[in-house]
């Protein structure tokens, strides 16, 4: 298999698998237990928390382990907004039109709970302007949530500039607090993540995007950030996320994050060159295509291309028959057919949006993989276009 869908999930790193193994077998204690097995499990969780904190330049007490990116995003957005409203700070939330569905749906949940939500637009490259965020701030604003790196087109957002804009606005308005959360799920392995340089109050990660196990995630929550937990129970995770800890998942997550946080420059340069090789090959070998999104201020592994005259699902299936795995947009939206909300927000015409395919490369991608795709893709696109034209002509014929 030629696997080019790393934005959807990545293979489990061998080092993470090895680190997890003891906690899937004999070392099975509950971290809440006061006996030796429980203390051993708790010690493993503590070490993992310190490792994750070092990777993000945070304090260990600011790291909460969750079940994944979706929970982290929902916990940050709903938990912070609700706590701020309870403190009579306001009920206005700002996000963007190109967030992952976890963020979009969390914002819609907040609307159902009585919050007012402003959805910022993006430009044709998929970038949101910090000036637009600044203009949307008002005395009732309690939270802004903007993703660091887009999962469909790879565009990077100016999170540090947005943090500065919020800070400057707050100084002019008597120190009114507006929390800033970023969905950084796609960033590990490709970008240095420093929560202090970004200036965020909360940041969400998903383990399986950077070589960790599925069902595990990280939420950075800056000290003293107002927060109301979504899950209530035994008070684990420093009273912020109840439920017996997934020790194996937590250990695997920290191990994978540490590896992903090293060698970023070299990894990004190598994979970025392969992405360019793929882009140039597609543009040269397939007529009538549109490259979506900025190719400079973006993730080095993400390439989104629209193929005119065909539907993306058909091309994904055709490539799959050759052992090539790619995606028709966000993996979390494939159960329902609809144009990508990200591409629509970018102003991509719907006839092009429905033919968009995302190629997301990974650490293990090789030049042979890229060449293998380029050997198959042009003829499959041509075949599907011919079939689409034949069907259209048949439908146009009089009965």
List, by residue number, the catalytic residues. 332
How far is it, in rounded angstroms, from Cα 152 to Cα 98? 9
Question: Who contacts 224 (Cβ-Cβ below 8 Å, separation ≥6)?
Answer: none
Q: How far does CA 255 lie from the centroid of its chain?
A: 19
The secondary structure of residue 157, as a DSSP letter, is P
Q: Distances from the Cα of 61 to the Cαs of 12, 97, 241, 289, in angstroms?
A: 27, 32, 13, 48
Report angle CA 351, 353, 355 to the nearest 5 degrees: 80
Size of the chain in residues: 399
Burial class (CB in 10 A: 0-12, 13-18, 19+), 333: middle
How far is it, in rounded angstroms, from Cα 66 to Cα 185? 13
How far is it, in rounded angstroms, from Cα 105 to Cα 382? 37
How far is it, in rounded angstroms, from Cα 207 to Cα 213? 6
* Residue 289: HSE in the Cβ half-sphere, 13 Å Cα cutoff: 23
- Token pair 């007012």 is found at 116
Rg (CA), the chain: 22
Kindly state the helix (H) or strand (E) to which residue 295 belongs, with its residue range: none
Helix (H, G, I), strand (E, B) or coil at 325: strand
Q: Tokens for 5?
A: 């869908």
With beta carbons less than 8 A apart as the criterion, state whether 145 and 181 touch: yes
How far is it, in rounded angstroms, from Cα 247 to Cα 145? 29
């Amino acid at each position: 298999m030629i696997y080019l869908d790393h934005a959807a999930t990545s293979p489990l790193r061998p080092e993470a698998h090895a680190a997890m193994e003891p906690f899937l077998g004999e070392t099975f204690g509950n971290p809440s237990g006061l006996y030796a097995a429980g203390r051993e499990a708790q010690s493993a969780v503590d070490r993992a928390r310190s490792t994750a904190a070092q990777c993000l330049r945070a304090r260990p007490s600011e790291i909460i382990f969750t079940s994944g990116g979706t929970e982290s995003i929902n916990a940050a957005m709903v938990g912070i907004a609700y706590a701020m409203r309870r403190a009579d700070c306001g009920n206005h939330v700002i996000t963007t039109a190109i967030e992952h569905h976890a963020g979009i749906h969390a914002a819609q949940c907040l609307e159902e709970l009585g919050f007012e939500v402003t959805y910022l637009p993006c430009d044709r490259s998929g970038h949101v302007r910090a000036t637009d965020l600044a203009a949307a701030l008002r005395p009732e604003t309690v939270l802004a949530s903007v993703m660091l790196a887009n999962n469909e087109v790879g565009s990077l957002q100016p999170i540090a500039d947005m943090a500065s804009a919020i800070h400057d606005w707050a100084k002019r308005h008597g120190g009114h607090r507006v929390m800033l959360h970023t969905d950084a799920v796609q960033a590990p392995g490709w970008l240095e993540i420093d929560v202090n340089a970004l200036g965020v109050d909360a940041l969400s990660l998903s383990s399986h995007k950077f070589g960790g196990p599925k069902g595990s995630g990280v939420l950075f929550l800056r000290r003293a950030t107002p927060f109301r937990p979504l899950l209530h129970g035994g008070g684990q995770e420093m009273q912020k996320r109840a439920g017996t800890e997934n020790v194996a998942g937590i250990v695997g997550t920290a191990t994978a994050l540490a590896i992903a946080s090293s060698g970023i420059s070299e990894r990004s340069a190598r994979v970025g060159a392969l992405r360019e090789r793929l882009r140039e090959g597609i543009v040269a070998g397939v007529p009538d295509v549109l490259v979506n999104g900025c190719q400079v201020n973006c993730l080095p592994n993400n390439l989104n291309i629209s193929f005119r005259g065909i539907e993306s699902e058909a091309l994904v299936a055709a490539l799959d028959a050759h052992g090539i795995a790619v995606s028709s947009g966000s993996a979390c939206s494939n159960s329902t057919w609809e144009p990508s909300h990200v591409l629509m927000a970018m102003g991509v015409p719907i006839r092009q949006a429905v033919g968009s395919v995302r190629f997301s490369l990974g650490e293990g991608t090789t030049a042979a993989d890229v060449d293998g795709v380029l050997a198959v893709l042009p003829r499959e696109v041509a075949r599907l276009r011919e079939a689409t034209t034949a069907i259209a002509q048949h439908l146009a014929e009089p009965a």
